């Protein structure tokens, strides 16, 4: 039976990218003890829960999204005892904890993949993955024409135990991330064990990596348009993604969660990273017996334009809310250029147009019906670090494509906590400790101690927005009605009388409500909504 209060429906969850949050050991890499030390900060911010990026044993080819052991903690990040302490501390503070589970692929160092490499073609060990003979003379061509999301072919050829060039295996991401074969029943059974292992340790749910993946077309046929697949990181290859069978997995995982909920009344949450072409297909993942939530990335992908934002919000409300779930909004994550930079000039200063727009977008997101996810550093207004030197870049996309385009290191630079110089309190080790990615000197302006002390900071905007969300029933689940507005402006009413308006232009416009706003993303006097600004009012229209 479902618990009555479905906490996740309008929850705000904070994504902790563990290796860049807070380092307790002085090795320059954030860890679980650092997350525990940072919990009071997150509680003060006012989030309902955290999602921890992968901390499992891993060779770190894709920073933990290459999992070698799904039921452990990599010594880089701590151990299971530290994990248990973190869960206990979070429980005491009333902060929910979600783990990141990676079911589409594992690490090439996973014992089952190592067993597959050591076994013969056609063996049971190989059937847990996608091994195929190659095409062409001597099988030297990949079995099909699919591209990897990280660039290059989606297949890598192995050397057989006898030393000869042999079969190929499928990897939709890096070669160090072989895809599981979900048509083999052992795969699903193994993930049942993994889910229960962590649920038994007291977590509140999972963020599911690549949740439209897992199953491939059974024949693994050629794609009709491999060049189109290669041009985009969106999951467009209809043979490799979004297969109907994946929905059975989410129904089953939901049932596992419900079983735990029935046991103790605490509702567990599944949130999927679902990249599919349309809002309608997206909605299928959040049907009542499937995932609770799926990130709605269209808001994140929308350009800074009133029309674009209105279109994606309306589509989401129509298609996803119609399933009985709520929409899960997101503006930033560890794979995307940060909003301050994305919406603005490529400058590194936080006072420009990009920062004003990012603040306005935050207020807009927090006023929408549904759940929201915040990526660490978003609450500080951190810009993307756009000038990392090539020799420190670690993103496999950079290695596989040789391109600086869309590399993801720039949003993963360790957080500044205090002080005037790197490591800005990120590492509690020796002064000489170096964060795993270099922090620019201007991070001093964004450090959490300065943010907390300055009421005009991003931090205060997020904290005030979250406090109002918790206090005002209009900002929970419920209706959104658009108001008539001039071009370049969006305004809507939530519930009985909370108005949110955003001016996407640069010139001031008359405000839709006469009084002084409850909260605004920039300086705002009664009756006027300045450019690149959002505000909330309760009052007469
Ligand atoms: C997801 C993760 C990303 C990772 C990829 C492969 O998109 O968010 O960081 O590289 O999956 O696991």
Cβ–Cβ < 8 Å for 394, 65: no
Atom of ligand 1 nearest to the CA of 335: 9
Lowest mean pLDDT among 60-69, 434-443, 471-480: 471-480
**Ranges for all domains in the chain classified under CATH 3.90.400.10:** 111-170
Is beta strand 519-520 parallel, antiparallel or unpaired with respect to 533-538? antiparallel
Lowest mean pLDDT among 47-61, 110-124, 307-321: 307-321
Atom of ligand 1 nearest to the CA of 65: 12
What's the pLDDT score for residue 350?
A: 45
Residue 452 in this model has a pLDDT that exceeds 70: yes
> pLDDT tens digits, residue range 126-159?
999 999 999 998 999 999 999 999 888 999 999 9
Atom of ligand 1 nearest to the CA of 66: 12
Residue 348 in this model has a pLDDT that exceeds 50: no
Q: Which of 61, 67, 149, 173 to mutate to test the pocket of ligand 1 (most atoms within 8 A of CB)?
A: 173
269 is written with which tokens? 């949450």
- For residue 478, give the nearest of 373, 369, 377, 383 by alpha carbon: 369
Å from CA of 309 to ligand 1 middle? 25
What residues are paired with 153 via a beta bridge?
147
Å from CA of 278 to ligand 1 middle? 20
Nearest-angstrom CA–CA distance, 129 and 179: 6
Percent of the chain's residues with pLDDT above 90: 85
> pLDDT tens digits, residue range 67-111?
999 999 999 999 999 999 999 999 999 999 999 999 999 999 999
What's the pLDDT score for residue 476?
A: 83
Q: Whose CA is nearest to atom 6 of ligand 1?
A: 65
Å from CA of 150 to ligand 1 middle? 10
Is beta strand 131-132 parallel, antiparallel or unpaired with respect to 155-159? unpaired
**If DSSP codes are grouped into helix, strand and coil, which group holds residue 354?**
helix
What's the pLDDT score for residue 182?
A: 98
**Ranges for all domains in the chain classified under CATH 3.20.20.80:** 3-107+181-460
Q: Which of 150, 209, 409 to mutate to test the pocket of ligand 1 (most atoms within 8 A of CB)?
A: 209
Q: Whose CA is nearest to atom 9 of ligand 1?
A: 335
When comparing pLDDT for 405 and 296, which is higher? 296
What's the pLDDT score for residue 8?
A: 95
How many CA atoms lie within 13 Å of 217's alpha carbon, on the beta-carbon side? 11
> Which residues lie with the beta carbon below 6 Å from any ligand 1 atom?
62, 65, 102, 173, 209-210, 273, 334-335
What's the pLDDT score for residue 404?
A: 64
CATH class of 111-170: alpha beta
Q: Whose CA is nearest to atom 4 of ligand 1?
A: 65
- For residue 359, give the nearest of 346, 376, 340, 342 by alpha carbon: 340
Q: Which of 210, 212, 235, 396 to mutate to test the pocket of ligand 1 (most atoms within 8 A of CB)?
A: 210
Most confident of 148-152, 204-208, 324-328, 348-352: 204-208
Atom of ligand 1 nearest to the CA of 333: 8
What average pLDDT is seen over the chain?
Answer: 93
Q: Which of 204, 209, 273, 464 is catalytic?
A: 209
**Ranges for all domains in the chain classified under CATH 2.60.40.1180:** 480-538
- For residue 309, give the nearest of 381, 232, 370, 365 by alpha carbon: 365
State mean pLDDT over 489-518: 95
pTM, full prediction = 0.96
Residue 541 in this model has a pLDDT that exceeds 80: no
Cβ–Cβ < 8 Å for 329, 274: no
Whether residue 267 lies in the annotated active site: no
Atom of ligand 1 nearest to the CA of 334: 9
> pLDDT tens digits, residue range 29-58?
999 999 999 999 999 999 999 999 999 999
- What confidence category does residue 256 fall into, taking pLDDT thresholds of 50, 70 and 90? very high
- For residue 462, give the nearest of 358, 340, 363, 357 by alpha carbon: 363
Whether residue 259 lies in the annotated active site: yes
Å from CA of 404 to ligand 1 middle? 18
What's the pLDDT score for residue 363?
A: 98
Å from CA of 257 to ligand 1 middle? 23
Residues 6+ apart with CB under 8 A from 181: 127, 128, 129, 130, 187
Q: Whose CA is nearest to atom 2 of ligand 1?
A: 209
Å from CA of 24 to ligand 1 middle? 25
State mean pLDDT over 487-515: 95
- Torsion angle of alpha carbons 448, 454, 458, 461, nearest 10°? 120
Atom of ligand 1 nearest to the CA of 104: 12
Nearest 5°: phi and psi at 484? -70, 135
Q: Which of 84, 225, 259, 449 is catalytic?
A: 259
How many CA atoms lie within 13 Å of 486's alpha carbon, on the beta-carbon side? 11
- What confidence category does residue 229 fall into, taking pLDDT thresholds of 50, 70 and 90? low
What's the pLDDT score for residue 405?
A: 63
Å from CA of 514 to ligand 1 middle? 46
Å from CA of 383 to ligand 1 middle? 21
Nearest-angstrom CA–CA distance, 382 and 355: 9
- For residue 480, give the nearest of 370, 349, 369, 385 by alpha carbon: 369
CATH class of 3-107+181-460: alpha beta
**If DSSP codes are grouped into helix, strand and coil, which group holds residue 428?**
coil
Q: Which of 58, 65, 213 to mutate to test the pocket of ligand 1 (most atoms within 8 A of CB)?
A: 65
Q: Which CATH architecture has domain 480-538?
A: Sandwich (2.60)
- Tokens 């991330």: give the residue: 177
Backbone Cα Rg of the chain: 23
Residue 430 in this model has a pLDDT that exceeds 80: no
Q: Which of 52, 56, 58, 62 to mutate to test the pocket of ligand 1 (most atoms within 8 A of CB)?
A: 62
What's the pLDDT score for residue 5?
A: 61
Å from CA of 527 to ligand 1 middle? 45
Q: Whose CA is nearest to atom 3 of ligand 1?
A: 335
């Amino acid at each position: 039976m479902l618990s009555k209060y479905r906490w996740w429906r309008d929850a705000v969850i904070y994504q902790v990218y563990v290796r860049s949050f807070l380092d307790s050991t002085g090795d320059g890499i954030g860890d679980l003890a650092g997350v525990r030390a940072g919990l009071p900060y997150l509680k003060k911010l006012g989030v309902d829960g955290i999602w921890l990026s992968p901390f499992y044993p891993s060779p770190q080819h894709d920073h933990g999204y290459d999992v070698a052991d799904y039921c452990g903690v990599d010594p880089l990040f701590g151990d299971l005892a530290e994990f248990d302490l973190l869960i206990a501390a979070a429980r005491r503070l009333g902060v929910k904890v979600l783990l990141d589970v990676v079911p589409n692929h594992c690490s090439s160092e996973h014992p089952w993949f190592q067993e597959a490499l050591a076994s013969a073609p056609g063996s049971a060990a190989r059937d847990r993955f996608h091994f195929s003979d190659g095409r062409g003379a001597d099988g030297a061509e990949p079995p099909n024409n699919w591209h990897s999301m990280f660039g290059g072919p989606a297949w890598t050829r192995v050397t057989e135990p006898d030393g000869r060039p042999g079969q190929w295996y499928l990897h939709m991401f890096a070669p160090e991330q072989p895809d599981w074969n979900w048509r083999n029943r052992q795969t699903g059974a193994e993930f049942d064990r993994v889910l229960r292992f962590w649920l038994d340790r007291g977590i509140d749910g999972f963020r599911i990596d690549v949740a439209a993946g897992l199953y491939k077309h059974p024949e693994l046929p050629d794609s009709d348009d491999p060049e189109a697949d290669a041009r985009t990181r969106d999951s467009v290859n209809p043979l490799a993604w979004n297969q109907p069978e994946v929905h059975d997995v989410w129904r089953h995982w939901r049932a596992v969660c419900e079983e735990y909920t029935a046991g103790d009344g605490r509702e567990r949450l599944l949130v999927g990273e679902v990249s599919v072409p349309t809002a309608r297909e997206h909605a299928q993942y959040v049907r009542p017996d499937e995932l609770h939530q799926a990130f709605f990335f269209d808001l994140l992908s929308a350009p800074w334009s009133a029309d674009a934002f209105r279109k994606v919000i309306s589509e989401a409300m129509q298609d996803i809310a119609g399933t009985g779930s709520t929409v899960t909004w997101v503006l930033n994550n560890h794979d995307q250029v940060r909003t301050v930079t994305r919406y603005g000039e490529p400058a590194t200063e936080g006072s420009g147009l990009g920062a004003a727009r990012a603040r306005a977008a935050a207020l807009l997101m927090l006023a929408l019906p549904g759940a929201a996810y915040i990526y660490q550093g978003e609450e500080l207004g951190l810009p993307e670090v756009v000038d990392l030197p090539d020799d420190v870049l670690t993103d496999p996309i950079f290695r596989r494509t040789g391109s600086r385009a869309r590399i993801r290191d720039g949003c993963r630079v360790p957080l500044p906590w205090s002080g005037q110089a790197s490591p800005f309190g990120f590492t509690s080790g020796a002064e000489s400790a170096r964060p795993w990615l270099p922090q620019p000197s201007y991070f001093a302006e964004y450090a959490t101690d300065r943010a907390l002390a300055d009421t005009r900071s991003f931090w205060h905007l997020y904290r005030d927005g979250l406090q109002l969300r918790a206090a005002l029933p209009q900002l929970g689940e419920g209706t959104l009605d658009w108001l008539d507005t001039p071009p370049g402006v969006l305004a809507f009413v939530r519930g009985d009388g909370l108005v949110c308006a955003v001016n996407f232009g640069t010139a001031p416009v008359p405000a839709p409500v006469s009084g002084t706003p409850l909260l605004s993303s920039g300086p705002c006097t009664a009756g006027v909504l300045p450019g690149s600004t959002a505000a909330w009012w309760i009052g007469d229209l």
